[in-house]
Amino acid sequence: MVTLKDIAERAGVSIMTVSRVMNDKKGKVSPETSERVRRIAKEMGYIPNSTARSLAARSSKIIAVILRDEPATNPLEIPYNAAFLGKIVKILPACGYSIMVHFVQNFSDVTFWLKSWNAEGAIFLGIFDREIRQIRNDNQIPLVFTDSYSNVRRINNVGIDDYKGGQLAAECFLSHGHTRLAFAGPISSGVIAERLQGFSDRLRSAGHPLLPEQTHAFPDRSAADILKSIRESDPAPTGLFVTSDNAAAEFYEAARRAGVSIPDDLSVIGFDDFPVSQMLTPALTTIRQDMEEKAQQTCRILLDRLNNCSSPSEILCLDVNLVERDSVRDLRPPAASPSPLTGERGESGVTP
């Protein structure tokens, strides 16, 4: 292993001079020695020791990405998490940071692990609302959360307009003549609660309130189960809003097994606009969130705070929009003219 000392000896200078050259403290070293040291370092194949630098400078250049984990699941099998992490690993190492990934079930691990590695910043994927205050108090480094609806002040968060997403789904159903609707998703999370709220508020104001028994807890109950409940209701809902494209895909599968046709027997709207939504048959109408933008903003906020620790905290809310494809049946009588609601916000989807 080549160290600063080895280079210093060969170059006939002190360790300090070599250190300065390696850290590009220009103007602090004469061009000639700088040049010579650089050449020798290259010849010798010098590789700076990050752990030594981290210890001495108290600056690890490590960013931690922390994903909420549940027993018997794999957080990276959720395409959203995987793609988001991928974007982070594309962006931050290009700025000189190394990425450590950690799954947490018990959040007390988080602080221990961050401090142990002297991480300079952290990004949180998944719902940490209940622990967010303590995490922030325990860690005085830049922290960026995503999709949090915590009311704690002075945290950084990048989220989307989930409420509007719910509204858009409701509007899309209404504008196609649907009035009896159902909802399925993991109701306990803040994000989903907002989507549900937007959905039911919009339905209520249109005079077609969402019935309590048509709010289904998924995946607590299986898609097949929920589908059965929906179909057996009287009168049965004609449309189902599902809180992720992947969950929607499970409903597609359940529908196929049950001989229920989408959209003829049941219309479906998803959420995310991930690739799977285009792979489904019929292609899924969904609420699009811009994951790339979200990841980019998350990294941007983190980098801002890394460079200037007094930057104000930011809570970002990115826009969402409706992507119309083929999973919502038009129930309007042929005579009816298109509703203005669709025209305003809808995006033309692809039709075979």
Positions touching DNA (CB under 7 A) are: 1, 3-5, 13-17, 19-20, 22-23, 27-31, 33-34, 48-49, 52-53, 55-59
Q: Out of 14, 35, 43, 55, name the contact with a copy of itself by CB under 8 A.
A: 55
| Tally: H helices and E strands in the chain | 14, 12
Output the smallest distance, CB 8 to DNA, in A. 8
Among 76, 211, 236, 331, binds a copy of itself (CB under 8 A): 76
For the CB of residue 64, give the shortest distance to DNA in the complex, in Å: 18
CA atoms of 31 and 349, how far apart (whole Å)? 61
Q: Which stretch binds a copy of itself (CB under 8 A): 79-87, 141-149, 220-228, 329-337?
A: 79-87
Q: How far is the CB of 25 from a copy of itself (least distance, A)?
A: 19
Residue 86 interface partner, choices DNA, a copy of itself, none, CB cut-off 5-8 Å depending on type: a copy of itself
285-289 and 320-323 beta bridge pairing: antiparallel
9 in contact with a copy of itself (CB under 8 A): no
Which single residue is written with the structure tokens 């957080």? 75
Residues 299-318 that bind a copy of itself (CB under 8 A): none
Regarding 261 and contact with a copy of itself (CB under 8 A), the answer is: no
DSSP letters along 22-77, please?
A: HTT-TTSS-HHHHHHHHHHHHHHT----HHHHHHHHT---EEEEEEE--TT--GGG
Among 23, 30, 50, 205, binds a copy of itself (CB under 8 A): 50
CA distances (Å), 158 to each of 72, 150, 301, in order?
28, 12, 9
Peptide bond into 263 cis (omega under 30): yes
Does residue 82 bind a copy of itself (CB under 8 A)?
yes
Token readout for 346 is 């809808």
Structure tokens at 184: 């399925």
- Is residue 256 part of the contact set for a copy of itself (CB under 8 A)? yes
22 binds, among a copy of itself, DNA, none (CB under 5 to 8 A by kind): DNA
> How far apart, in whole angstroms, are the C-alpha atoms of residue 170 and residue 203?
6
Q: Per rule CB under 8 A, is residue 219 in the interface with a copy of itself? A: no
Neighbours of 106 (CB within 10 A): 8
Q: Which residue among 103, 236, 296, 330 contacts a copy of itself (CB under 8 A)?
A: 103
Residue range at the interface with a copy of itself (CB under 8 A); choices 177-185, 220-228, 246-254, 331-339:
246-254
- Please report which helix (H) or strand (E) contains residue 279, including its range: helix 276-279
Segment near a copy of itself (CB under 8 A), from 34-42, 81-89, 124-132, 170-178? 81-89
Report how far Cα 235 is from the mean position of its chain's Cα atoms: 37
Within 10 angstroms of residue 200's Cβ, the number of other Cβ atoms is 22
Q: Which two structure tokens, joined as six digits, stand for 171?
A: 């509007």
